[in-house]
Structures are given as structure tokens and as C-alpha cells.
Amino acid sequence: MEPMPKQLKILNWLTIALVAVGLYLTIWYAPREAIMGDVQRVFYFHVSAGWAGALAFLVAALSGALFLIRRERRWDRVAMASVEIGVVFTFINIVSGSIWARPIWNTWWTWDPRLVTATIMELVYLAYFMLRQGVDDPDRRARFAAVYSILGFLSVPLTFLSIRFFRSIHPVFFGAGDALSAGMEGPRMWVVFIFSLLTFSFIYGTFLWHRLRLQELSERLEILKMKLLSHES
């Protein structure tokens, strides 16, 4: 495997620093919310994980479109890696939401529109990998996956807008009265919230770069394996 690029090393340390600062801001700098108490701090990670997941799925859709236009295999690799990371972030978003809901709603799960659509979105992108596994031909697999990543992205805005289309008890972050409904009162809370979004964006970018490097190594090993097998035969 090629040595880690200097830019990636810098990104690693920068991301670690952002995570450390983000933890400090969340635990000690952000004030305690008057009604929900300390459990409100989960929101900084919950929303940021959801944002990172949506960002990952957006990158996957754009990469899928670029693959269909240019037929360059690298865009298929970017799409697949981005979907993998997006699924992880979305899972964190769902789990952290349940952790918040237990003391606030007195239940781990409720059939709220936001929870339902977020779970459907997660299942949609898990099916993305089933599609890739079900097609043997690399070119067809890349084409089908590209189209699926574009169509699958429709679940992302649906999840975001679900609490506006349907009756929901889920807090709203953007719009009239959102600060009160989400417990975001005061500038210090918003500073921590925006910093968390930035931090999770850097985490996504760092993970994506590392995942692409691992994917490239895996493909090189597969090619080497095929050459060895053909030489032996």
C-alpha cells in the first residue's frame, strides 16, 4: 500500500482536534437546557450524524450521476464508499435519537414520521449493497448501483421534510419557533451545534478518503490474485 499522503495525515490530526474540541464544547461549554436537562446534549451528535449521513448519500448520488456520464470506475468507488459511511452515520443518528427519546418520550421507539422515514432510508441504502452483490458483471453492477444511488437519494429529503408533511412530535430545527421546540436557546448552544456539524463533516471526509485507499488496495490485491491464478493454470 502506498504511504499515507501528507494531506491525509494533516486531515487526520485536524479531525481528531475537532472531535476533542467538539466534546469539550458539548459537555462543558454548552449550557444545560432548562426543560430536557443534560439529555438535550445528545442532539449535538444526533443531528450532526444525520447531517453527515445525508451528506454521504448526496455525494453517492452525485458520484453515481458522474459515473453514468463519464463511465469512469472511480466514481463508482466513491459512491460505494460514501454509501457505506452514510449507512453508519444514519445508524448512529437513529440510535442516538432513541437514547434521547427514552427519558423525554418515555419510550425507545414511537411510530413518528421522522423515525419511520429515517429507518426506511437506512433500509433503502442497505438494499444498495444487496443490489451490488446480486450483479456479477462489474459494468452492469456499476450502472445499476449508480441509478439506484440517484433514486435512493429521494428518501433523504423525504426524511427531512416528513415532520412538515405529517403530524409529528419530533423537534424541528429549522423554521419558525425551532429554537424552543428543539431546546436550542441562546447563542452558546448554536455555536456548539454549528461546530458539531462542521466536525462531523470533517469526520465524513476523513473516513471517505481512508475507505477509498482501502478499496484501491483491495482491487490491486484482487488483480494480483487473478494474475497468480492465471499463471498457475
Domain spans of the chain, in order of start: 40-232
Q: Which residue in 46, 93, 31, 81 sits closest to 212, CA to CA?
A: 81
Secondary structure class of 53 (helix, strand, coil): helix
**Residue 126: how many CB atoms within 10 A of its CB?**
13
> Which residue is it, cell 411510530?
111
Beta bridge partners of 219: none
Q: Residue 92's pLDDT is what? A: 95
- Which residues are within 8 A (CB) of 157 and not within 5 positions of it... i.e. 6 or more apart? none
Q: Is a pLDDT exceeding 90 seen at residue 218? A: no
Q: Copy the grid coordinates of residue 174.
A: 429549522
Q: What are phi and psi of 37, to 5 degrees?
A: 80, -150
Q: Considering the chain, what is the average pLDDT of its residues?
A: 87
Percent of the chain residues topping a pLDDT of 70:
91
Residues in the chain: 233
What confidence tens digit (pLDDT) does each residue in 69-107 have?
999 989 999 999 999 999 999 999 999 988 888 887 788
CA distances from 104 to 46, 55, 192 (A): 15, 28, 21
pTM: 0.88
The least confident of 91-100, 157-166, 178-187 is 178-187
Q: Copy the grid coordinates of residue 63.
A: 458520484
Q: Is the dihedral angle over the CA atoms 176, 177, 183, 184 positive or is it negative?
A: positive
Q: Which residue in 171, 190, 19, 30 sits closest to 100, CA to CA?
A: 171
What confidence tens digit (pLDDT) does each residue in 17-39 have?
999 999 999 999 988 887 788 88
